Amino acid sequence: MITIKEIARQLNLSTTTVSNVIHGKTGEVSQATIDRVERFVREVDYVPNISARNLATNSSKIIGVVLKSQTYKYVSILMDPFVSELISGIEERLREHGYFMMLYISDDIAEILKHVSTWNVDGLILFYMLDDDGIRVSEKYAKPVVCIDTYCGEGLQHFVNIGLEDAKGMHDVTQYLISMGHRKIGFLSDNNVNVDNARFRGYRTALREAGIEYSDRNFFLLRPERDEIDRSLAQLVEKARDFTAVACVSDLYAVLFMDALRDHGIRVPEDLSVTGFDDNLYARLHRPALTTVHQDVAARGRLAAQTLIDILQGNPPARREIQAKVSLVVRDTVMPVEKIDKTRSE
């Protein structure tokens, strides 16, 4: 691998001049030398040594993408289609701007912070980090941080969050169910904090606006742990017999729930209407195709990366909370309630 020093020697120039030409600081270099250097650099296929450059500039061109490894739903968090799509968007935008992505998958915040500082990472993108972890990062780490789907509480004032219209999306899809005549509408999730809570609030608001009463029985709480999920689904299927529709917090849960329903002889949408949230591959591949709330995940990834790059270049966004748009996608899992009552098998 050829070095700047060697190029300078062969061209009978100083390393400064060569370096200046390579970096386009050609204000004080004669056109003749510029040409000479540029031609030679191309010829010998010069590639800078990033380690040396990082050492000299006290920076890296690395953006750390931090994922918590703990997950019930998949073997690895990388297998969550949401995460994959997000990363693909982040990666694309970072690459366009000459940054590199380093993935940190761990539950141990201390370990992550160690890596981040050994590599002298220029900025961080955090995904779905809970409040206290975020605060620990924020204390130890002075560089720009962009979060995704993290409802940043106090103490994270200098974080930027790339959120989503969670409440609006769930409100719209619930309202759609109501417009189809449904009044006994359940909400299915595995928790009720952060993103899930925002979606729940959208659901509640839609009910309230329509004058429909809510009770705790409406909450379909799924236990997602590997050895609990089947039993939990079976219970929720039984519970569903008292409802005409269930709005699920995610497409994955909607699909799992629909399959459980089918296994117990309850047809979707003839016996029960079901909706999802996210509009990922599951929603599109499943039959009947899922009525759901669309979000453009890759675009959010790009947005997160872009926001971080902007901050690094001295252009912080106007607001600390950015919300990406959602839209309702009507497919085949919702039926008007009058038809349901007619065909109901019980």
Interface residues with a second copy (CB under 8 A) are 1, 47-52, 54-55, 60, 75-79, 81, 84-85, 87-89, 91-92, 95, 100-103, 105-106, 114-115, 117-120, 255-256, 259, 262, 281-282, 285-287, 298
**Smallest gap, in angstroms, from Cβ of residue 311 to DNA?**
20
CA angle 29, 31, 34 (to 5 degrees): 70
CA angle 174, 273, 227 (to 5 degrees): 100
Task: Note every long-range contact of 225-231, with CB atoms under 8 Å and residues 24 or more positions apart, other chains counting.
Answer: 225/72, 226/72, 229/256, 230/260
d(CA 182, CA 244): 6
Contact between 298 and DNA per CB under 7 A:
no
Residue 306, binding choice from a second copy, DNA, none, Cβ under 5 to 8 Å by partner class: none
d(CA 215, CA 188): 13
Cβ-based nearer residue to DNA, 32 or 75? 32
Find out whether 100 and 140 touch, Cβ atoms under 8 Å: no
Total chain residues near DNA (CB under 7 A): 28
Cβ-based nearer residue to a second copy, 22 or 29? 22
Burial bucket for residue 293 (CB in 10 Å: 0-12, 13-18, 19+): buried
Cβ-based nearer residue to DNA, 5 or 158? 5
Contact between 32 and DNA per CB under 7 A:
yes
- Residue 83 vs residues 80, 87, 123, 165: alpha-carbon distances, Å: 5, 6, 19, 18
Cβ-based nearer residue to DNA, 36 or 344? 36
Contact between 58 and DNA per CB under 7 A:
yes
Residue 286, binding choice from a second copy, DNA, none, Cβ under 5 to 8 Å by partner class: a second copy
Matching residue, tokens 């599109």: 284
Token pair listed for 338: 């009058």
Residue 60, binding choice from DNA, a second copy, none, Cβ under 5 to 8 Å by partner class: a second copy
Contact between 10 and DNA per CB under 7 A:
no
Among 24, 28, 157, 265, contact with DNA (rule: CB under 7 A): 28
Burial bucket for residue 302 (CB in 10 Å: 0-12, 13-18, 19+): buried
Cβ-based nearer residue to DNA, 23 or 319? 23
Read off the amino acid at residue 310: D
Contact between 49 and DNA per CB under 7 A:
yes
Residues that bind DNA (CB under 7 A): 1, 3-5, 8, 12-17, 19-20, 22-23, 28-30, 32-33, 48-49, 52-53, 55-58
